[in-house]
Homo-oligomer: A and B are copies of this chain.
Amino acid sequence: MPADALSAVFSALADPTRRDMVARLTVGDATVNELAAPYDVSLQAVSKHLRVLEDAGLVTRSRDAQRRPVHLEAEVFDLMTKWIERYRRQAEERYRRLDDVLAAMPDGIEPTPPRTPEKQTPKPTRRGATS
């Protein structure tokens, strides 16, 4: 039940069984029983997994008599993809720039290392944990 959406999605997919169910659902909607079939766990456990996926917005459930077909909401993937790509690109960009600097550098001079040496932010008390 993490408040923010991104945490919920990552957390939901951190479980191999749940990832497996998502994979299964790309093939088409399925009932809880159908989803449970491959796994050696109780139906209730599967039900719980589905709730996690639902809370994360990865699946929705509709109604068909006493069955509750589960449907994959692929759009949520975009949330993750965006987050990942953003920082991946940023990190790669950084290396590219660093490589350029090193390449352009005449041998023997000190390059001001990329380790962010400057500020040390004294940071107030903190130990008492205000929140």
CB distance from A4 to the nearest CB of B (A): 6
CB–CB A114/B77 < 8 A: no
Chain B residues whose CB sits within 8 angstroms of the CB of A74 once the complex forms: 87-88, 91-92, 95
* Residues from 12 to 27 in A contacting B, C-beta threshold 8 Å: 13-16, 19, 22-23, 25-27
Cβ of B2 and Cβ of A14 under 8 Å apart?
yes
- How many residues of A sit at the interface, in one of the four size bands? 35 or more
B42 and A129 within 8 A (CB): yes
> How many whole Å from A74's CB to the nearest CB in chain B?
4
Contacts A34-B116, A42-B127, A116-B29 given; does A77 touch B69 at CB 8 Å: no
Contacts of A13 in B (CB 8 A): 10
Instruction: Verify if A109 is at the interface (C-beta below 8 Å from B).
Output: no
A48–chain B nearest beta-carbon distance, Å: 15
Question: Which 5 pairs of residues, A with B, have the shortest CB-CB distance?
Answer: A11-B14, A10-B14, A74-B91, A26-B90, A37-B121
9 more A-B contacts (CB under 8 A) besides A19-B83, A26-B87, A72-B91?
A10-B13, A11-B11, A11-B14, A26-B90, A34-B121, A36-B123, A41-B129, A64-B115, A74-B92
